[in-house]
Amino acid sequence: MSAAITVIATFTSKPDTIDDLKRELAILVGETRKETGCLSYILHQSPEKPTEFAMIERWADETALNAHFGMPHTKAVFAVAPELLASAVSITRWIEVAG
């Protein structure tokens, strides 16, 4: 049995696309939470730097996470990302070691 995976994805919007990025990510949240193997998918915005967002995700296993990247709603966000983001998305994977 595979261990659950936590993903932290960070996004930095251009100053004039904060609302557009937030809207796109909110749609992504709603659709992703319906996916098999999605345990948690929560969008955060920095109160100090409003252009910075973090998606904290929990997935049942690697298979579920990999399936997520192939979903139409995920691909749609990455398709519009270049016009909304100031820099590349950072995606890091984590496994729980104590809890």
Q: Give every residue of the chain whose pLDDT is below 70, as ranges.
A: 1-2, 99
Q: What is the pLDDT of residue 96?
A: 85
Q: What is the pLDDT of residue 24?
A: 96
Instruction: Please classify residue 22 by burial: count the beta carbons closer than 10 Å to its beta carbon, then call 0-12 exposed, 13-18 middle and 19+ buried.
Output: middle
Report the predicted TM-score, pTM, of the whole model to 2 decimal places.
0.91
Cα end-to-end distance, the chain, whole Å: 18
Q: How far is 56 from 40, CA to CA, in rounded Å?
A: 8
Which residue segments constitute the domains of the chain, with CATH numbers given?
5-95 (3.30.70.100)
The DSSP code for 85 is B
Q: What is the pLDDT of residue 2?
A: 65
pLDDT digits (tens, 9 = 90+) for 25-52: 999 999 999 999 999 999 999 999 999 9
- Measured in whole angstroms, the distance separating CA 2 from the mean position of its chain's CA atoms is 21
- Residue 16 in contact with residue 29, Cβ under 8 Å? no
Q: What is the pLDDT of residue 28?
A: 97
